[in-house]
Amino acid sequence: MQRRSFVAGLGSAFWLPSLARAAAPLASDPFGLGIASGRPLPQSVVLWTRLMAVNPADRLDGAITVGWSIAEDERMQKTVRSGEAVAEPRWGHSVHVDVEGLKPNRPYWYRFTVQGKASPIGRTLTAPDATQRLATARFSFASCQMYEQGFYSAQRAIANEELNAVLFLGDYIYERSWGREHVRKHEAGVPTTLDDYRNRYARYKSDADLQAAHAAHPWIVTWDDHEVSNDYANDTAPDVIDPKFLLPMRAAAYQAFWEHMPLSNKVKPAGPSFKLYDRYRYGDLAEITVIDDRQYRSPNACFPESYKNRFLVDCADRLDPARSMLGAEQEAWFAEGMKRASARWNIIAQQTLMTELDSGKDGKHRYWADGWDGYPMARRKLLDAVAASPVRDTLVLGGDVHSFWATDLKRDYADAKAPVVATEFVGGSITSQTGKDTATQEVARNNPHVRYARSEVNGYGIVALEPAQATISFRTVTSVKERNAPVSTLQRFVVEAGQPGAKRA
């Protein structure tokens, strides 16, 4: 499939004969999967690409030397750093450059060159120094871009937003074909090997709108389940319960994830483990804590029965305090970070809806097994750590549920008077489908801590931080079934410093 599908995004490549090395110049663009930057720190960013030959005459065999450069201007006249990296076959010919020695809080432009071909020019932005007083910072947050179900107009819109960084919260790929009214196809089955996962990423990354969002901003990423297997928990999954099969798939999937994301060389995955959780600081205004609630979590409550009906009713196991969502090590790291936090806003970037959502009827309680509701004691522990932070204001950003939500996060949902510990926003899905909005509204009505819910629309969220308030906008596209669909604001919220809880604006 690599041979024929990478037509989009080739227009900006051009010849640079003077850069041709000993190897013969390539006839086709090796940058058909785009370029990206990520992990923005005050003095460094990661630059990414992955070489792939479109033309069969272009042989990308063995280790290939790739030139990179980063400049202070968009025409790349004032180069500040440059060098060479090696694209190795064992890492899928991916290129990750940890560029050091940059200045904080300023834009840079970058590009790659290989065998007479240059990549498009990308733009990135370093984070401000931790001590810098910052008046504003702006981030998009998004998840769930099922390729078959729609076009990525939302990613095109994200490319055009003014942002410090993009937060991507999981389901970057989907392993399985599902849903209605496909506009295009994976043209491959469910991945199990490293090459299968690589090809799935290549398929997604061939999309020009997605490439545009990567080329426009640095990305901060976490993952959810579909990067490996639907609803997986650590080493089990409804579709692959036996760890003997799931762990090798997880190793392949994690490696493919690293190969396709602007992540540091310092976190190369080793087998089925990958330390993805991380922290980012934006001056005195915000600290972003990125967590991984998939890799270390306990199996679903009442597993394996709960792998048939994904909802939990009368499952005492659910309340077992030993059940973990983050794993002991990440949990301790999280609590320590909250204790030491000192920015105006704590931002928690994570993958699944965090609030309690009881969908039971007639006095019965019913909870979704795969989200935080399957791990209520772990959620309480996390919120206890948030409440113990000297930082008063915490926003939790999430994905996974393919709908927009604004909720109050509380330590105890049974107590109507329990204080709101943090404010949650879930930013819809780029393309992935949901059920009916009437059902969403019914659940929202029955859960008074839910302040807003909306499904049957797609898009992303924007969080704009200022010292005294955060403004959150839910942005939607008119349709995912057509290309270049326009985007508009569905709903805007304000959270005032010192007053947790979303207010409609």
Report the interface residues with Fe ion, using CB under 5 A.
144, 171, 432
Binding to Ca ion by residue 175, rule CB under 5 A? no
Cis preceding linkage at 40, omega within 30? no
Of the candidates 240, 213, 206, the residue with the CA atom closest to the CA atom of residue 225 = 240
Binding-site residue total for Ca ion (CB under 5 A)? 4
Applying CB under 5 A, which of residues 29, 148, 161, 224 lies at the interface with Ca ion? 224
Q: How far is the CB of 292 from Ca ion (least distance, A)?
A: 13
Q: Which is nearer to Fe ion, 403 or 432 (CB)?
A: 432
In this structure, what are the phi and psi dihedrals at residue 483, rounded to the nearest 5 degrees? -75, 155
Q: How far is the CB of 123 from Ca ion (least distance, A)?
A: 30
Question: DSSP 3-state assignment of 211?
Answer: helix
- Residue 225 contact partner, candidates Ca ion, Fe ion, none, CB within 5 to 8 A by sort of partner: Ca ion
Name the segment binding Ca ion (CB under 5 A); options: 171-179, 191-199, 338-346, 424-432: 171-179
What CA dihedral angle connects 114, 120, 123 and 126, to 10 degrees?
-10
- Residue 149 contact partner, candidates Fe ion, Ca ion, none, CB within 5 to 8 A by sort of partner: none
- Residue 287 contact partner, candidates Ca ion, Fe ion, none, CB within 5 to 8 A by sort of partner: none
Within its chain, how far is the Cα of 84 from the centroid? 28
Question: DSSP 3-state assignment of 166?
Answer: strand
Tokens of 195: 């090459």
Q: How far is the CB of 429 from Ca ion (least distance, A)?
A: 9
Question: Is the Cα dihedral 235, 238, 239, 240 positive or negative?
Answer: positive
Q: How far is the CB of 432 from Ca ion (least distance, A)?
A: 8
Q: How far is the CB of 476 from Fe ion (least distance, A)?
A: 16
Of the candidates 416, 383, 418, 395, the residue with the CA atom closest to the CA atom of residue 497 = 395
Tokens 């200022």 locate to 466
Question: How far is 334 from 320, CA to CA, in rounded Å?
Answer: 21
Q: Which is nearer to Ca ion, 207 or 400 (CB)?
A: 400
Residue 471 burial by Cβ neighbours in a 10 Å radius (0-12, 13-18, 19+)? middle
- Residue 432 contact partner, candidates Fe ion, Ca ion, none, CB within 5 to 8 A by sort of partner: Fe ion
Question: DSSP 3-state assignment of 373?
Answer: helix
Name the segment binding Ca ion (CB under 5 A); options: 132-140, 318-326, 394-402, 490-498: 394-402
Q: How far is the CB of 400 from Ca ion (least distance, A)?
A: 4
Helices (H) and strands (E) in the chain, counts: 7, 25
Is the CB of residue 205 less than 8 Å from the CB of residue 259? no
Of the candidates 366, 418, 410, 397, the residue with the CA atom closest to the CA atom of residue 465 = 397
Question: How far is 213 from 134, CA to CA, in rounded Å?
Answer: 24
* Beta-carbon count within 10 A of 120 CB: 20
Q: How far is the CB of 148 from Fe ion (least distance, A)?
A: 13
Q: Which is nearer to Ca ion, 284 or 370 (CB)?
A: 370
Q: How far is the CB of 206 from Ca ion (least distance, A)?
A: 22
Alpha helices (H) in 49-94, listed in sequence order:
none
Name the segment binding Ca ion (CB under 5 A); options: 20-28, 86-94, 219-227, 373-381: 219-227
- Residue 148 contact partner, candidates Fe ion, Ca ion, none, CB within 5 to 8 A by sort of partner: none
Name the segment binding Ca ion (CB under 5 A); options: 222-230, 260-268, 341-349, 414-422: 222-230
- Amino acid at position 25, single letter: P
Name the segment binding Ca ion (CB under 5 A); options: 46-54, 163-171, 291-299, 353-361: 163-171
Q: Which is nearer to Ca ion, 228 or 409 (CB)?
A: 228
Applying CB under 5 A, which of residues 58, 207, 400, 408 lies at the interface with Ca ion? 400
Q: Which is nearer to Ca ion, 108 or 147 (CB)?
A: 147
Q: How far is the CB of 169 from Ca ion (least distance, A)?
A: 9
Q: How far is the CB of 403 from Fe ion (least distance, A)?
A: 10
Applying CB under 5 A, which of residues 29, 209, 225, 284 lies at the interface with Ca ion? 225
- Amino acid at position 403, single letter: S
Q: Which is nearer to Fe ion, 49 or 351 (CB)?
A: 351
- Amino acid at position 347, single letter: I
Question: How far is 307 from 304, CA to CA, in rounded Å?
Answer: 5
Q: Which is nearer to Fe ion, 37 or 432 (CB)?
A: 432
Alpha helices (H) in 314-375, listed in sequence order:
327-340
Residues forming the site for Ca ion (CB under 5 A): 171, 224-225, 400
